[in-house]
Structure 1
Amino acid sequence: MKPITLKLTNDQIFDLKKRYYAYKIRTDLPYTHFQIRGDDFTITAYTSGKVVFQGHSAVFHASLYGYVESEETQSTKKVSTQSNATPTRYPMAGSDEVGTGDYFGPITVCATYLTDADLNVLPVSKIVDSKQINDDTIRQLAPVIMETITYSLLVLENAKYNSVHKTMNMNVIKAKLHNKAFLNLSKKITMPTLSVIDQFMPKDAYFKALAQEPEVYKDLTFETKAENKYLAVACAAIIARFAFLEALDQLGTLYDFEFPKGAGAHVDIAGKVFIERYGQDALHKVAKTHFANTQKIINL
């Protein structure tokens, strides 16, 4: 995508360097204060006060300093910010889910609410690359986020999931969970004008899936890979992943068994060991039994 250029104050540029202290920072480039490099972004702060955000997650990082991407065109534009000004996209809400691609374990969905004040407390430099974070770091980071922001978390355990999946597909189930998460969140705070859902189905199909629901939260922005663009979604992804890991740990303790993540061949092998120990009927309590893994496990 095209670079994003913002005009920042000296205080904001100082804050930028402080916020991204954990990344590689160069200070030897001509006409610059510094340049920050991450896995999928580069931020260059020039002595003129201009700051250029580049890379796959440029929108995400620029949004922390007031950049707003046009919802209609998703085209880039320059936005000037003033010292101590509230970024125009905060407060914001966002949601994401975890566990839909894992044979073992539940589906977890989280919706979060962030204000500009939260940016001063959250470890943003660690959150921004949430997809690259390992499980140990998730376990350390999520509690900090959960103590700082307002959120709604839902955990759909396997037995219940397998029951409802008999009459609805996974996307419909996810739609109902996201809707419930936003409704729960709306009871805790006054919802912001920007509420983003990490899109997993077309907007029309999403609301069609909720046609029979007694209450539907409708003021949503749908966007793919939203965790790379919106801090609220990134925080939701981390909390949901933490809840998934905790649930998997609890299952492991209950059955004295190590449940692997994913849905590959290693899962089939573990599943075979599990049913040899606890029987095939026990699968519905720990796994999403409509996955192809079930038949593979039985046939091993």
Structure 2
Amino acid sequence: MDDYNTNVVFSNKHQISLKLPKEYWNSALDLLLSKGFYKRDVANAFLSLTDGNNFINFYSSGVLLIQGKDAQILKEEILKLVKLERVVVGCDEAGKGDVFGPLVLCCCILKPENFEKVLSLSPKDSKKIKDEELFRKIQALENLVEFRCIFLSPKELNQIYKEKPNLNRILDWGYLRLIKEVLKEYPDAKVTVDAYSHRNPFGSLASFEHKAEEKVEVACASMKARYEFLKWLKAHNLPKGASLEVMQMARRMLNQKNYEDFVKAFFLK
């Protein structure tokens, strides 16, 4: 999202990133066209508009980049188009594909009164955000939404895996527990889980959608889960991922008595 191809350099106050759900894109486009904006071609942007002084790029991730002296005014006008009628809940996980570290499942509860403020933080799928930005934003998010998470340490996960040797079925179990807990408190909430298999294991309790991180509430859950996962790795000075180098490091730990406290042992079988 760095290739926004303008010849103008703006200060931070004249450049704003905003998460806008795609169902509001047409309304935002109509608003901007009525204000004299016109379309232009910009590499990597799904859609780009300018009025000659301000520039707005729509990205496929749902992020809007607003640049120009009227950036703040344009942001406020676009946000007026956005309404959330009820509580929405998004769920995502982190650590599933990593040799070291926990499996973290999180659900984010987003209420209508905080919807605009959360959009202003431009939450993203945690796989598309740098760790430094994630750590900066998470505290602000925690002040605006509620998180419910299940944190399975490597030791706990290894034990569960012996009884239930399929990560997707473990995710089914964990998310069902979280969803029921959330719906008990917010029975009218709309719940969306980022899909990790082809079938919806939750029936009518939740929507099961691929690429659901485009939804604001799921992006927030993704960021929280990733934050908790990275915080654990940092505390134990262990690497991310499942590269050959990481696998070799994990195998060297096999002789340690407590290696299952740090390694997802089933990765090494």
TM-score (norm 1): 0.64
Q: Which residue of 2 aligns with 1:181?
A: 178
Consecutive aligned runs of 4 or more in structure 1 exceeding 6 Å deviation: 33-38
Alignment of 1:220 with 2:196, yes or no, is no
Q: Which residue of 2 aligns with 1:238?
A: 223
Give distance in 2, aligned partners of 1:8 and 1:32.
Answer: 11
Q: Which residue of 2 aligns with 1:167?
A: 163
Contact 2:84 2:112 in 1 (8 A): no
**What residue identity is the alignment partner of 1:232?**
E
- 1:271-290 alignment runs, 5 A limit: 271-275=250-254, 279-290=255-266
Give distance in 1, aligned partners of 2:94 and 2:223.
Answer: 9
Residue in structure 1 matching 2:123, options 122, 127, 142: 127
Alignment of 1:139 with 2:135, yes or no, is yes
Write the deviation string for residues 224-276 of structure 1: whole angstroms up to 9, x where unpaired: 0110x2100000000000011122233x1xxxxx311111112123224544x
- 1:19-168 alignment runs, 5 A limit: 31-32=36-37, 41-44=46-49, 56-57=60-61, 60=62, 84=80, 87=83, 90-122=86-118, 124=120, 126-128=122-124, 130-168=126-164
Q: Which residue of 1 aligns with 2:239?
A: 260
Contact 1:106 1:155 in 2 (8 A): yes
Give distance in 2, aligned partners of 1:87 and 1:116.
Answer: 7
Give the 3-state SS of the residue equivalent to 2:105 in structure 1: strand
Give distance in 2, aligned partners of 1:124 and 1:35.
Answer: 25
Write the deviation string for residues 121-161 of structure 1: whole angstroms up to 9, x where unpaired: 22645414643211122111112111211221110111111
Write the deviation string for residues 148-194 of structure 1: whole angstroms up to 9, x where unpaired: 112211101111111111121110001111112222323443442x3
Give distance in 1, aligned partners of 2:238 and 2:177.
Answer: 28
Write the deviation string for residues 62-116 of structure 1: whole angstroms up to 9, x where unpaired: 9xxxxxxxxxxxxxxxxxxx99566356532110000000010010011112133
Give distance in 2, aligned partners of 1:133 and 1:90.
Answer: 28
**What residue identity is the alignment partner of 1:56?**
S
- Could you tell which deviates more after superposition, 153-162 or 99-108? 153-162
**Residues 235 and 43 of structure 1: CA distance in aligned 2, closer, same or farther (over 3 Å):** farther
List alignment gaps of at least 5 residues for structure 2.
1-21, 65-77
List alignment gaps of at least 5 residues for structure 1.
14-29, 63-81, 208-216, 253-257, 296-300
Contact 1:152 1:182 in 2 (8 A): no
Give distance in 2, aligned partners of 1:109 and 1:150.
Answer: 14
**Residues 109 and 158 of structure 1: CA distance in aligned 2, closer, same or farther (over 3 Å):** same
**What residue identity is the alignment partner of 2:195?**
Q
Contact 1:36 1:43 in 2 (8 A): yes
Give distance in 1, aligned partners of 2:108 and 2:57.
Answer: 25
**What residue identity is the alignment partner of 2:27?**
K
Give distance in 2, aligned partners of 1:198 and 1:98.
Answer: 11
Give distance in 2, aligned partners of 1:56 and 1:170.
Answer: 29
Tell me the C-alpha RMSD between the 2 structures.
3.7
**What residue identity is the alignment partner of 1:202?**
H
Contact 2:121 2:137 in 1 (8 A): no
Q: Which residue of 2 aligns with 1:202?
A: 198
- Could you tell which deviates more after superposition, 107-116 or 280-289? 280-289
The count of residues paired between Structure 1 and Structure 2 equals 230
**What residue identity is the alignment partner of 1:201?**
S
Percent sequence identity is: 22
**What residue identity is the alignment partner of 2:186?**
I
